[in-house]
Amino acid sequence: MSKKEQTITGTSKIYGNLEKAAKPKKMQPPTSEAEKTERKAAGKTQGRTGCKADRINLLFTVENYDFIRKYARFRGETMTGFVNHIIEDYRERNKAEFDAFEKFLKNT
Q: Return the domain boundaries, the chain.
A: 57-108
Query: pLDDT digits over 81-107, tens only?
Result: 999 999 999 999 999 999 999 999 998
Instruction: Give the distance, in angstroms, between the CA of residue 34 and the centroid of all CA atoms in the same chain.
Output: 19
* CA angle, residues 19, 23, 29, in degrees to nearest 5: 160
* CA angle, residues 27, 29, 33, in degrees to nearest 5: 140
Query: pLDDT digits over 37-57, tens only?
Result: 666 666 665 656 666 667 789
Percent over 70 (pLDDT), the chain:
52
